[in-house]
Amino acid sequence: MMIVLSGMIGAGKSSLTTILAEHLGTQAFYEQVDDNPVLPLFYADPKKYAFLLQIYFLNKRFASIKRALADDNNVLDRSIYEDSLFFHINADMGRATEQEVQVYDELLDNMMEELPYAAHKKAPDLLVHLEISYDKMLEHIKKRGRSYEQPENDSSLVGYYHNLLDRYDAWYQNYNYSPKMQINCDQLDFVDNPVDRQKVLALIDEQLKKRGTL
């Protein structure tokens, strides 16, 4: 069984990944953020480093997925299927050239074709998408305190975050690589509220049982 999470910056993907891995007694795989040497460079100069950052993430994520697919049960805190969404938003904001977009899209396509040959399954068993409002997302971002993510330090982030939120709805509706479900993070606080945490775990367990993977 492999579960992947998706959702906005600050939605709580890493937290739910930890909770799910403990609940299921399996391994968690995390997106490299705190020790990512390119991420601060991107926030300081998005136009210069957008392509490098996305290639960095794509490489790390591909390696994580191959390791996860090689084992029986795992939870990943970010899906590779979201990578194109992030990079194309940056491209539309003038942070990447047409040539960079072409190179990136071709590389991603090649990686996606290789995944079935890297392991015994072609796709996750379940995608858990974390839906969140702009205000709640900002609350989470402020709480974890990464300076380069704060809109008050960079006003351009306001448009960037709203752009991501607007596009995530369509991305989720069009996602068809695996079974999927949504968790409303405004209504269910699985980090600080034990009752909400159990509700979220029960919802995910229900989906897994329906598909015979739990």
Residue 112 labelled as part of a binding site: no
Judge contact between 76 and 3, C-beta under 8 A. yes
Residue 8 labelled as part of a binding site: yes
Indicate the DSSP class of residue 122. Answer: S
Active site residue 77: yes
- The Cα-based distances of 11 to 6, 17, 25, 108, 137 in angstroms read 9, 12, 23, 25, 6
Residue 43 labelled as part of a binding site: yes
Residue 94 labelled as part of a binding site: no
Catalytic residue chosen out of the listed positions 77, 169, 196, 205:
77
Residue 189 labelled as part of a binding site: yes
Report the C-alpha gap between 188 and 23 in whole angstroms.
Answer: 17
Residue 83 labelled as part of a binding site: yes
Report the C-alpha gap between 47 and 49 in whole angstroms.
Answer: 6
Residue 78 labelled as part of a binding site: yes
Residue 190 labelled as part of a binding site: yes
Residue 82 labelled as part of a binding site: no
Report the C-alpha gap between 186 and 132 in whole angstroms.
Answer: 6
Report the C-alpha gap between 102 and 93 in whole angstroms.
Answer: 16
Residue 139 labelled as part of a binding site: no
Report the helix count and the strand count for the chain, using DSSP H and E. 8, 5
Task: Could you list the residues known to form a binding site for ATP, using ranges.
Answer: 7-15, 188-190
Q: Among all residues, which ones are annotated catalytic?
A: 77
Task: Could you list the residues known to form a binding site, using ranges.
Answer: 7-15, 31, 43, 54, 78, 83, 149, 188-190
